[in-house]
Structure 1
Amino acid sequence: MTVLRDPADAPIDRREDGGPVSTGAPEAGGASSAIPPEIDGLPMPRRAIAASAVILAVVIMTLDTAMIAVALPAMARDLGLSAAASTWIVNSFLIVIVATLLPLAALGEAIGYRKVYLAGLGLFLAGSVACYLSSDFALLMMARLAQGLGAAGVMAVNGALVRFIYPGPDLRKGISVNAMMAAISSAAGPAAAGLLLTMGGWRLLFGLEIPLTLLSLLLGLRTLPGQSGSVDRIDGRAAVLTALSMGLIGYGLTELVQPAIHWSAASSLALGCGGIALLVRRLRNDPAPLLPLDLLRVTALRLSYAASICVFAAQMVAMIALPFFLHAVHGYSATTIGTILSAWPVGIALGALVSARLKYPLSTIGLGGLTVFAAGMALLAAFAGLGGVALLAAGAFVSGAGFGLFQTPNNSIMILASDVRRSGAAAGMQGAARVTGQMLGAALAALCLGLFGTGSVVPLWAALVLVMLAFAAANARLLAKRKG
């Protein structure tokens, strides 16, 4: 097992805690060699431009879901939709992403990450234009499906490209910046949507995406690194089965909170899980499986994915439930609610910046971040009923800071604890964990609101439980590392 020293001069296993990784086949216990110099980052200023292109794309893709969710009432009124029908403007986007992330990650490993990334950006741009011009629900849904597929292409290989953009000493910083921007965008989306809706209606949200996506595409065309494929072929049957299975699971999660169609949700989840079981059986001896069983066998990665799902679910529950609670219980205006929630992304930014500079093993930083996140959620759950903008904003800030402290090291582990030739699969799993967590969080928030009403703090306590589950996973990761 290759053991190197981290910035704090504490011996850590780089397979589990980030850093130089192998270019050979993944091993259960560690890495075998360092990344060769020909893929050790881009020269300046090309590196800065490529990094900017990737960061901009991360912001666009993450903002989309958060902003559109806030705009659903306005879109429903304008298009003559019921509230239930309007949710599919968001749900369809997320289902397409979760269904196609892993197949597109495998495609990136086969033909090169740059090609998949740029094609995804181009498709997302076309979908954004179509959304802006849509005059009815059917056209809008087709455009959202195109956007979802394009976003999946970007998210599937984003982390892999970051690995090739930054040199080894700066790689952790690059991952930190990406994690920070994704988290900030997700939390800031509702406030941004509220501002844009007051300025020009829901189409302005898609109008904003058009120039930003075009800029990211043009910058990427000039500067993104190009690598040849690291695998010879794609298992077409496995790709189709993966997309169908993950799509069914995503559909089941979105429908789970609808009492009238519980059987539909249950059957979709059962069929999706059955498809995953067939995939595991088909791919168990594949050295580079499309469903990355090789990565899931690594304890650090498996537990990192679980922790990521839990924290994104917790954040989504809080982001959905808090506005309803603050309006129902305290009668706060949208502006006041936006002021309170804006403290969350500020906390994320500060937490991520601090995390990137701490000289401790990544697992230790992650546990500290989860402790802070739990403290913030406990503060919100316990004292939300008392009201007070300052108190509530403080709870949101502490929660965001803990989220930011955790995400940076956890993302580093998810990307760096894998073989470099499996960068596409690692990036795909990172994105899949994030989207799965967001879908679970949205479903849980809707379930809690339906059962307990908008004036209940139960969703906030549920978010705290999710943070504690993430802590348990991260702690198990650290214990497994010490035993190894």
Structure 2
Amino acid sequence: MQVQEPAPGGPHDGLYGGARTLAMLAVALSVLLSVIDYAIANVALPTIAHDIHASPSSSIWVINAYQLASVISILPLAAVGDRIGYARMCRIGLALFVLASLLCAASTTLLELSLARALQGFGGACIMSVNAALLRFIYPHRIIGRGIALNGLVIAAGVALGPTIAAGVLSVANWPWLFLINLPLGGVALLFAITSLPRTPTRDTRFDGRSAVLNALAFGSLIVSFDRLAHGDGPIGSVALLGFGTICLVALVRRQLGRPDPLLPIDLLLLGGFRAAVLTGFLGFVASNFFIISMPFTLEDVLGRTAVQTGLLITPWPLAIVVVAPFIGRLSDRAPAAVISTIGLLMVATGFCALWLMPARPSDLDIAWRIGLAGAGFGVFQPPNNRAMLVAAPVERAGSASGMISVARLLGQTVGAMLVAMTFALLGSSANRACLALASATALCAAGISASRLRTSRTTVAVQ
């Protein structure tokens, strides 16, 4: 199967002038709302657990409920977006997110808060399942890389702003206000989404509910089982859940084969370039989570930095992504993703390896430049790799491609978090350095898969 990029100047070749600016503002605000809220909840978890009288181990479901709901619903929601329009799906997501934020603020027990967070994760998945697809109708084909880079910049800014906002709110108010601040931001985002997002084509096909159920059972069971295994919780039950999830995944794949509009985009994954981009993105986020989750422990427990110093020392990561985004956006529209993404991932691997090889008593500058190098590499790798996924799909399958971009990110983050937990459980005090070594090795693997696309490109050119 050969998928061609849509011709520039075609019927869906983007918006221009102020219309493009307003539509991109709607997408940016929607994505920012979802990303900031996830980062805020992570930082505020100890405070929330104390106030609702939940143990640290059980309170993690405030985070897990959001992440799990997002992962199991991304692909079904992307399929629904193909049918009802990406702009409408984004608006539905914003409305659900605002409602769920209100329910989170009103929660008084762990169960109530976890259920509200699951609804919030579902609303966030509505947004993230179609945000990349919307870029295809906002930006002309020749400069779509700029839109993807800007989207990545917004995500990086949300990650960077989340802890700061959480600290600021908690210094003057109690934790429910962390969710109440979503109401005005969500209201503004919804206003722009209603008035500015472009109408996108819809598909008059039947939604495959059975595949959606199999998808939820497969991903949900696999994630929960791996999480239980990573924490050493009930190995027999965990293995049984793992087996059930595997059976559901096999059934899902078999059901998708040969379907013209598969919920799990098997047809796109059969394309070498698309498959390589998905694997590259997945491993890139596994590598980044090895660093992001373990580094605060390294800085505080091993290197003796305070919590404030730790936050400042990690800032070069998102800051570097923000700095390189405008340049990489333009470059990704001109140079092959295999080249740029590979270079970026080699930078990431070098930065993580340099952190692993740090002296026993590094200065703040020793730490900061290494983190900055890795962050810059991540900012170089991601936009062209996402662009490669998005433009590989025909325009009517943009929702599926957009969903897979989010799936690669969410699964990479989830698997990375589980592997960090497993590493700490197995290695104890030496796990901090091991995580940095594993982060570098994983980034090198991602670079190898990314570089494999160069061989594919040369083979295609030779055949032509």
- TM-score tier by shorter-chain length is over 0.9
2:449 aligned residue? 473
What's the CA shift for 1:478?
2.0
Give me the whole-angstrom Cα distance separating, in 2, the residues matched to 1:59 and 1:422. 25
Which stretch of the first structure deviates more once superposed, 379-388 or 70-79?
379-388
Q: For the aligned residues, what is the CA RMSD? A: 1.8
Of the candidates 378, 386, 390, which is equivalent to residue 361 of structure 2? 386
TM-score by length of 1: 0.90
Cα 1:183–1:269 change in 2 (3 A) is farther
2:459 aligned residue? 483
What's the CA shift for 1:269?
2.6
Deviation string 1:162-202 (CA, Å, 9 cap, x unpaired) is 11111223311111110222234235534443343334343
Deviation string 1:322-364 (CA, Å, 9 cap, x unpaired) is 1111111122111100110111111111232232233532221
Between the aligned residues of both structures, percent identity stands at: 35
Deviation string 1:250-284 (CA, Å, 9 cap, x unpaired) is 22233231213233333223222211211221221
Which stretch of the first structure deviates more once superposed, 177-186 or 190-199?
190-199
Letter in 1 for 2:202: G
SS in 1 for 2:17: coil
Give me the whole-angstrom Cα distance separating, in 1, the residues matched to 2:457 and 2:181. 45
What's the CA shift for 1:311?
1.2
2:238 aligned residue? 265
Indicate conservation of the 8 Å contact 1:351/1:400, yes or no: no
Give me the whole-angstrom Cα distance separating, in 2, the residues matched to 1:355 and 1:42. 21
Indicate conservation of the 8 Å contact 2:231/2:421, yes or no: no
The answer as to 2:363 corresponding to 1:401 is no
Of the candidates 209, 223, 227, which is equivalent to residue 200 of structure 2? 227
Residue pairs, 1:208-247, within 5 angstroms = 208-247=181-220
Deviation string 1:200-228 (CA, Å, 9 cap, x unpaired) is 34333213322212211110000111224
Deviation string 1:219-257 (CA, Å, 9 cap, x unpaired) is 000011122422411112112211221221222233231
Indicate conservation of the 8 Å contact 1:54/1:158, yes or no: yes
Of the candidates 367, 392, 395, which is equivalent to residue 417 of structure 1? 392
Letter in 2 for 1:479: R
Residue pairs, 1:429-440, within 5 angstroms = 429-440=404-415
Deviation string 1:149-169 (CA, Å, 9 cap, x unpaired) is 111111111111111111223
Residues paired across the two proteins, number = 457
Give me the whole-angstrom Cα distance separating, in 2, the residues matched to 1:343 and 1:192. 18
What's the CA shift for 1:129?
1.2
Of the candidates 119, 124, 127, which is equivalent to residue 151 of structure 1? 124
Which stretch of the first structure deviates more once superposed, 67-76 or 390-399?
67-76
Give me the whole-angstrom Cα distance separating, in 2, the residues matched to 1:415 and 1:440. 23
Give me the whole-angstrom Cα distance separating, in 1, the residues matched to 2:439 and 2:67. 21
What's the CA shift for 1:36?
6.2
Of the candidates 357, 360, 377, which is equivalent to residue 330 of structure 2? 357
What's the CA shift for 1:99?
0.5
Give me the whole-angstrom Cα distance separating, in 2, the residues matched to 1:483 and 1:414. 19
Give me the whole-angstrom Cα distance separating, in 1, the residues matched to 2:53 and 2:445. 41
TM-score by length of 2: 0.94
1:12 aligned residue? none
1:80 aligned residue? 53
Indicate conservation of the 8 Å contact 2:78/2:130, yes or no: yes
What's the CA shift for 1:32?
7.1
The answer as to 2:113 corresponding to 1:116 is no
1:366 aligned residue? 341
Give me the whole-angstrom Cα distance separating, in 1, the residues matched to 2:174 and 2:115. 20
Unaligned 5+ runs, structure 1: 1-26
1:280 aligned residue? 253
Residue pairs, 1:13-28, within 5 angstroms = 27-28=1-2
Residue pairs, 1:88-127, within 5 angstroms = 88-127=61-100
SS in 2 for 1:386: coil
1:325 aligned residue? 298
Give me the whole-angstrom Cα distance separating, in 2, the residues matched to 1:237 and 1:35. 37
Letter in 1 for 2:286: A
What's the CA shift for 1:384?
6.2
